[in-house]
Amino acid sequence: MRYPALVALTYAVALSACEFGETVIPEGEPMVVVHGVLRPDLGRQWILIEQTLTGVDDNFLAGGAIPGSPPQLPVIGAAVSVTNLSLANDPCGATDFSETPDTRDLPLAAGLYWGAQDCPTMRTGDTLSLRIETLDGRVVTGTTEVPGAEEMILRVGDSSVTLPGPPLQMNRDIDTLEARITVASGRALHLEVRRPDSAGTSRSVFRFFVDTTEVMLPGSLPNFLEGLLGEEDTTALEDAGPIFTAGRYYTVTLGLGDERYFDFIRSANIPVSGRGFINNLTGGMGVFGSLVAETDTLRVVGSRDDEREGFYRMVGIVDGAVVDVILELYVAATAEDTTNLSAFVRGEWVFGAIDTSADGVFRGDSLKFSFYQSLPLLIERSFSYLVLSSASSAGVFGGEVLDRDRDVVGSVTLTKIPQPVTVSTDRRYVAVSRPGGIN
């Protein structure tokens, strides 16, 4: 039988008969894209308005890019308003959103629109209506129903707190974090874990949503979403780092979104066709939804199984001030000659009382770590410090303190001590909400 030869011959003839032509794809029509999630707990509401790329080269230059996003086309000069349809006598009336708000305290960017202070009025169950009209006459509309929670609870072991409330402490090696919402109106539970960094800001470590009202996170759980939400394309569980690291403060934000917000976060689009995205806007695409959220501080500790872990007292002179702090230190991942560490830093530092976290490494007989201190009246300003020290004897380190410019500003001595009688978990300063996340 000679079927293979026959098939090959037929295939060759078919190829010789094919002619591939060129097809010019027409330029796409730009579509308005809206990013608006309103939160009753925020004094100021904001909405981002962009438009889709159409394949024109100057798309990447016109209008500038909205900071923190890929190159997009901000829509400028639009008329934007939100109205509470459930409150006829709303003192806010139709709230106009402006690119130039009446205060200097808000970030400004092309395509970023701010509402008036404490407007529109938002109560549980209220229906809010959005209307956008661009300079070229395109109109986008949408609605959202404000969700509401009777209570939001975080629990670790036998300790629980109704948000907002005092900090919780969790041993990442043995405890489980439980989050629960009693829903009055709403659709999806959204949980986000953030950690402060050495610059005094915070970054998102873990966030996800579920269509239930309760969720549990073991303290030792690997960050299985790291490959999807982070910069690295890694989804293998064995490559994922932990969500929680002992010796760190975290903020845990618990949110409840409406149906529009739920549709937005649970759907995605195919980049070419846009199919798969659930769109509830008329005349444009994106999201106009609402979210209620509360945030609490989580103090994460761990089981001590390394002789270097424990409490250290650090004293010395820095920038002319006498400093005296306690480090509660935990080690983490270990490489060939380096061991990562995190530590709580509490006591008196250059600008007064401090209660923060530090990150660093043990390398041989040396210890290196950094942390920051914010000024009480200048929330946006922080000062970072790097401590470089080496062991002079067992459990004793001496070294220099550097500022953010790497100038030597002092010297300190660290001595390992027994555990203090009490360890306070009170926090003096809290994070400030900004556009870009739910916290």
State the first-to-last Cα distance of the chain, in angstroms, to the nearest integer: 72
Dihedral of CA 274/277/281/286: which sign? negative
pLDDT, position 252: 94
- Residue 354's closest CA among 298, 428, 431? 428
- In three-state secondary structure terms, 66 is coil
Q: Give the pair of three-digit tokens for residue 146.
A: 């404000």
pLDDT, position 146: 96
Distance of CA 104 to the CA centre of its chain: 24
pLDDT, position 387: 81
What residue ranges of the chain are covered by domains with CATH 2.60.40.10? 148-301
Distance between CA atoms of residues 249 and 301, nearest Å? 9
Name residue, tokens 């308003």.
Answer: 81
What CATH number matches the domain at 32-144, 2.60.40, 1.20.120, 1.25.40, 3.40.1620?
2.60.40
Residue 408: strand pairing partners: 402
pLDDT, position 377: 55
- Residue 277: phi and psi, rounded to 5, are -90, 130
What is the largest distance, in Å, between two alpha-carbon atoms of the chain? 96
**Residues sharing a CB contact under 8 Å with residue 418, sequence separation 6 or more, in sequence order:** 311
- Residue 12: phi and psi, rounded to 5, are -65, -40
Q: Give the pair of three-digit tokens for residue 117.
A: 């202070």
Tell the CATH topology of 148-301: Immunoglobulin-like (2.60.40)
Residue 217: strand pairing partners: 177
Q: Give the pair of three-digit tokens for residue 415.
A: 């001595």
Residue 346: strand pairing partners: 326, 355
Distances (CA, A) of 326 to 190, 298, 397: 35, 19, 14
**Residues sharing a CB contact under 8 Å with residue 91, sequence separation 6 or more, in sequence order:** 121
Distance between CA atoms of residues 387 and 391, nearest Å? 13
- Residue 386's closest CA among 366, 351, 358? 358
pLDDT, position 177: 95
Angle at 67 between CA 59 and CA 433, to 5 degrees: 145
The CATH superfamily holding the domain 310-417 is Quinohemoprotein amine dehydrogenase alpha subunit, domain 2 (2.40.128.120)
pTM of the model: 0.77
Contact assessment for residue 115 and residue 82, using Cβ atoms and an 8 Å cutoff: yes
What residue ranges of the chain are covered by domains with CATH 2.40.128.120? 310-417
Q: pLDDT tens track of the chain, all 439 residues?
A: 444 443 343 444 344 445 556 666 566 678 999 999 999 989 999 999 998 876 665 555 444 555 555 547 899 999 999 999 999 899 999 999 999 887 777 888 889 999 999 999 999 999 999 999 999 999 999 999 999 999 999 999 999 999 999 999 999 999 999 999 999 999 889 899 998 765 557 788 888 888 888 999 898 887 776 655 444 444 455 566 788 999 999 999 999 999 999 999 888 766 555 567 889 999 999 999 999 999 999 999 999 988 899 999 999 999 999 999 999 999 987 767 888 999 999 999 998 899 999 989 998 888 899 888 877 554 445 577 878 777 777 778 998 998 888 889 999 999 999 987 554 444 433 332 333 344 3
DSSP state of 226: H
β 168-171/285-301 pair status: parallel
- Residue 354: phi and psi, rounded to 5, are -135, 140
**Residues sharing a CB contact under 8 Å with residue 21, sequence separation 6 or more, in sequence order:** none
**Residues sharing a CB contact under 8 Å with residue 16, sequence separation 6 or more, in sequence order:** none
> How many other β-carbons are positioned within 10 Å of the β-carbon of residue 133?
16
Query: Cα-atom radius of gyration of the chain, to the nearest Å?
Result: 27
